[in-house]
Chain A
C-alpha cells in the first residue's frame, strides 16, 4: 500500500518536471493530498471487480495492476499509451484489470459503471464495482441519475465521494448548502459512511465493509472521504484563490507522512525499509521515463482508425500489450 501511495506522488513529481520541459501534452492533473483515498479504497477490491477512477485517483489504477509506465505514456501521448494517443490522463478502459475510463464530463462514469454492475447482477456473479467522484462532480445530473439508478436496481456498486473542498476554483459551500456531505448522499436512501480520506487504513476499512456488503447483495454504498486538493485543478492553475492557512492546516494531515508514521510506530517497517521502497519506486520511474521519452507519437493517419469496429483496419487493442499472463489486481 505504501508503495502505491508513493508511486502516485513520485510519478506526479516527475511528470511535473516533464511538464515544465514540454514533454507532457496538454494538462497535468495532480492527486497531491488525496492519494490515500484512492489507494485505500481500491485495496478493498478483488480480482474480477471493476473500478472507474476520477481524475485524482491514479493510485487506484496502480493498485489494480496498471504499470506506472502506462501513465507516463498517457501524459506524453505516445503511440503505445493505453489510449493509443487518442485520449489523455486516466481515460482508458482495460477489461482485464477491471478498469473503466472516465470522460471529462463529470459524474458520467457512475452511470456507465452501473451497467457493469448490472451485468454482474444479471449473470449472478458476485463481483463488485467501485467508483469515485468529487463533491463538484456529484452536483451533475449524471451523478444524481446514476445514484438513483444504482439505488433503484440495488446494484453492487460503491461510490467514494471525495470531498476535497474545491471544484476547480469554486469552494464546496458553493456546490451545495450542506455542512456534511454525507447528507447529500443520504438522499438516495443509501448507507453512507464518512471517513478521514487522508487516513489510509480508515479509508480501506470503510471500503472493505461497503464492498463486502455490495458483494453479498446488500446493494450500493457511499463513502464520503474528507480530504483536500493540495494543488490547483491542473498545472496551469496557480491556486491563488485558496486561503494559505487552509493549505497549511491540511499540509499537517498529509496522508503519506501519516501512513509512514503508522508503519514505523507499529513496527511494520523500519526507516531503512521505507527508504528501500522509495529507492525502488524512484528507480522504476526513472527507467520508465527513459523508455517513454524514446518512444514516438502515433502515426498521423491512425487518427482515422477505430471509430467503428473494423478488424481489418484496427491495430490490436492497445491494452493487450500491457497485460502479463498473471495480470489483474494485485
Chain B
C-alpha cells in the first residue's frame, strides 16, 4: 500500500479507465503537451497518443459539444475545464444540449465534465468558484464533489462509466493536501447518489461536501473536545442525485441540522436541502435549520478578503453551538 493524493487519485482513475476501455479519452485545454494546468494528465499524451489526449482551442462550448457528439457514437469522453469557472462559456452546451438530449431524443450523452473548483488558493474571482447551484436546477445532469482521495477515484470511475452527463467538481485546495492509503490499480467504484458518513454522532448533523467536509470535521473535533458534543458529519459526495434518505435518517436521529457549503448562501444548494428536510422530517427537528456558507459576493483575491469570504471552522463551531443551545 502507498499514499495516494487526491490529485493522484484523479489521475489514476482516468489512466486506469483509459487502459481498461479504448473508448475513454480526454479533451481540453493544455491537457496533452503541457500535461494539464495542474499536471494531472502529465505523461498521458505519450502513453495514449494524440487521438485520446486531445489539446483543443480555448473553446469550452466546442469542447463539451465534441464530447456530446463522441458520446453519441459510443465513446466515453472526459472533458476538462481548466478551472471550473470556465464552464460558464459551455453553459448552453451543457444545459441545453447534454442535459436534455436523452429526454428529447432518447439518445443520452454519457460525458464527464471535470474541473478544479473552490477557493483557498488565493486565485480571485475567476479561479475559485463553486458552480453546483448554477446547474442544480437543470434536470438531466448529475453532479459529484469528492472530499477524499478514495472518493475522488471512485466517483470519477463511476462518472466515466455512467450513461448520462456527470459534472465532476474536484477541489483544488485538496489536490495535494489530502492523501490516503490506496493500492495502485485498485478498482474503486463509488456509486453516484450515495452519501458517506464521515463521522458518527448523536447531537447534531452537519451535511456538507467537498473541502468543507474537512473544516466541518475539524469543527466537530473541537466541539467534542471543548463542549463534549457528539456531532455527525455527512459527506454528500453526490450533489445530484441527492441522497436525501441519508440526510433525513441522520436528522431523525439528532434533531438538529447544519448545512455547510463553500458557495454563496443566496440560491445555494443548502436551500434545497433545507426545503427537502422540512418536507420530510419537520416533526423531528428540535431547532431551526442553519446554513454556514460563503458570503454573497464574488470570491475576492486578497488573503484577508478571501478568508473572510470563505466559511471557516470558527463559523461552523459558532453555528453548531447556537443550534445545540436552542
A interface residues with partner B (beta carbon < 8 Å): 82-84, 86-87, 91-93, 95, 100-101, 103-105, 108, 110-122, 141-142, 145-146, 148-149, 152-153, 306-309, 314, 317-319
Contacts and interface: CB of A to CB of B under 8 A. Distances in A.
A142 B56 contact: no
14 contacts: A91-B105, A108-B92, A111-B65, A111-B66, A112-B66, A112-B68, A115-B65, A115-B66, A115-B68, A115-B73, A142-B62, A145-B57, A146-B61, A319-B106
Interface residues of B, number: 43
A146 B65 contact: yes
Interface string B87-113: 001001100110011111111100000
A182 to B, nearest CB: 22
A148 B163 contact: no
A307 B67 contact: no
Contacts of B100: 87, 103
Interface of B: 25, 51-52, 54, 56-57, 59-75, 77, 89, 92-93, 96-97, 100-108, 139-140, 142, 163-164
A109 B45 CA distance: 28
B97 A117 contact: no
Contacts of B65: 108, 110-112, 114-115, 142, 145-146, 149
Given A92-B105, A114-B62, A307-B140, A119 B96 contact: no
Contacts of A103: 96-97, 100, 104
A122 B22 CA distance: 10
B107 A95 contact: yes
Given A146-B62, A148-B62, A101 B57 contact: no
Nearest to B98: A112
Contact of A83 (B105, B108, B164): B105
B106 A317 contact: yes
Nearest to A121: B51
A306 B140 CA distance: 9
B186 to A, nearest CB: 27
B51 A145 contact: no
A152 B51 CA distance: 13
B100 to A, nearest CB: 7
Contacts of B57: 145, 148-149, 152
Contact of B104 (A87, A108, A121, A317): A87
Contacts of A141: 61, 89
Contacts of A114: 62, 65-66, 69
Contacts of B101: 93
Contacts of B66: 111-112, 114-115, 118, 149
Contact of B105 (A93, A104, A108, A116): A93
A87 B101 CA distance: 10
A111 B104 contact: no
A221 to B, nearest CB: 18
Given A149-B57, A309-B164, A91 B70 contact: no
B51 A86 contact: no
Contacts of A115: 65-73, 75, 77
A146 B65 CA distance: 8
A100 B72 CA distance: 9
B51 A306 contact: no
Contact of B103 (A117, A121, A306, A319): A306
A100 B109 CA distance: 12
Contacts of B102: 306-309
Given A111-B61, A112-B68, A142 B107 contact: no
B107 A93 contact: yes
Contacts of A86: 103-104
A120 B74 CA distance: 11
